[in-house]
Amino acid sequence: MNNEGAGARNARNSGSDRIGRRATMSDVAARVGVSRQLVGLVFRNEAGVGVETRNRILAAARQLGYSPNTAAQSLRGSSTRSIGVIFNPYELTPLDILSRIYEHAATAGYRVLVSTTTETRTEQVAIDELVGYRCEALILIAPKAGFVELRRAIGPTPVVVVGRGMPGSDFDVVRSQGADGMDGMVRHLASLGHRSICYVHCLDVLDSDVRLGGYRRAMAGLGLEQRVIELSGDFTEEAGARAAELLMSGGDLPGAVMCNNDLAASGLSHRLLQFGLHCPRDISITGYDDNRIAGLSYLDLTTVCQDPNEMARAAVEAAVARAAGSAGLPREIFTGARLVIRSSTAAPSV
């Protein structure tokens, strides 16, 4: 009964309208009356298929709701043509970078697989998932774990880290010229007449070390006194608010406060308003990242745009190169940082 000769295979395939089962290439082929391989040629957009046949195949595929099975493609293909991305979705900058990664990867012919970290989902778990799918390279945006730990979890897959240094690793690194950005910011404030410029240094921020270095260098270069408020914790608006309280209780208010991220600037600005201090009338405030909130009309933050698009482009480029087998020493790529002047900075009131 189950041995009907050559017809058996086709019989199985055409009996495919089993509930929930997706159409396969064989289903499409059977419908048109050609071989499965020909359908494959059409979907891979290869030459050597008659125009009329191609159209009939495409029509049948549409009718049957055929869509290629990615798992089968990954399994059979010599490469999976996919890049994995790991990030914390609660931070805005990584999100901006992610959306650009999608675009650049598509251009390069790569698929993007996303795996997020959360409070309860560790980097280890996120990595395992992507390794399971055999991504050809991973892009880690602001990872928390160290090199050894990450490398052990990831195995032989190439890695690109964005927004954080990885000294001594074999990872490629993409970070913005945070030092230059902060340097430019200090000069901007100085040119407005500010001499008392305080810096709010939130740890747990992309490239926070580099940014602080830029502030210090620029202040030293101008012969100005450095004043740094260091804060930790993930809730960066809260950090800004705490900075506001420290400033208010500190006696002498600075003319300008530079925050190393926009969220902190937002919290700072809000909290200072509650103390009756208006920005920029009473105090100038700056952010960093040029996130969505920096452009809000009531904040209108002077900030530094670290060009998520450029970071994404560099990261994808590095990932694709490694996926294609490029050897060589790990590279460190610095992307540009551009000062964005808005209305939260003005000449000091004194």
231 CB contacts (<8 Å, ≥6 apart)? 200, 201, 202, 203, 239, 242, 243, 264
Does 133 participate in binding a copy of itself (rule CB under 8 A)?
yes
Contact partner at residue 251 from DNA, a copy of itself, none, CB < 5 to 8 Å by partner kind: none
Strand runs (DSSP E) across 89-202, as ranges?
111-116, 137-141, 159-162, 172-176, 197-202
Q: In this complex, which beta carbon is closest to a copy of itself, that of residue 164 or of residue 271? A: 271
Query: Within 10 A of 224 (CB to CB), how many other CB atoms are there?
Result: 16
38's contact among DNA, a copy of itself, none, with CB below 5 to 8 A by partner kind, is DNA
Q: Are 173 and 140 in contact (CB under 8 A)?
A: no
> What's the gap between Cα 342 and its chain centre?
25
Stretch near DNA under the rule CB under 7 A, chosen from 71-79, 98-106, 236-244, 334-342? 71-79
Q: Is 18 one of the binding residues for DNA (CB under 7 A)?
A: no
Determine the size of the site formed for DNA (CB under 7 A).
31
Site string for DNA, 21-50 (x = CB under 7 A): xx-xxx--x----xxxxx-xx-xx---xxx
Q: Based on C-alpha coordinates, what's the Rg of the chain?
A: 27
Binders of a copy of itself among residues 82 to 111 (CB under 8 A) are 89-90, 92, 95, 98-99, 102-103, 111
With CB cut-offs between 5 and 8 Å by kind, which of DNA, a copy of itself, none does residue 120 bind? Answer: a copy of itself
Kindly state the smallest distance separating residue 95's Cβ from a copy of itself, in Å.
Answer: 5
Which of 296, 326, 336, 349 binds a copy of itself (CB under 8 A)? It is 296
Reduced to 3 states (helix: H, G, I; strand: E, B; else coil), residue 324 is coil
Other CB atoms within a 10 A radius of the CB of residue 242 amount to 19
Which one of the spans 34-42, 234-242, 248-256, 341-349 is the region binding a copy of itself (CB under 8 A)?
A: 234-242
Residue that has been written with the tokens 């009329």 in this structure = 52
Asked if 11 touches DNA (CB under 7 A), the answer is: no
For residue 177, give every residue at least 6 positions away whose Cβ sits within 8 Å of its Cβ, in sequence order, or none: 306, 334, 335, 336, 337
Collect all residues with Cβ–Cβ distance below 8 Å to 34 and sequence separation of at least 6. Answer: 53, 57
Is the torsion defined by CA of 269, 271, 276, 282 positive or negative? negative
- 26 binding a copy of itself? (CB under 8 A): no
Q: From the list 9, 12, 22, 144, which residue makes contact with a copy of itself (rule: CB under 8 A)? A: 22
What, of DNA, a copy of itself, none, does residue 274 touch, CB below 5 to 8 Å by kind? a copy of itself
The item of DNA, a copy of itself, none sharing an interface with residue 156, based on CB under 5 to 8 Å by kind, is a copy of itself
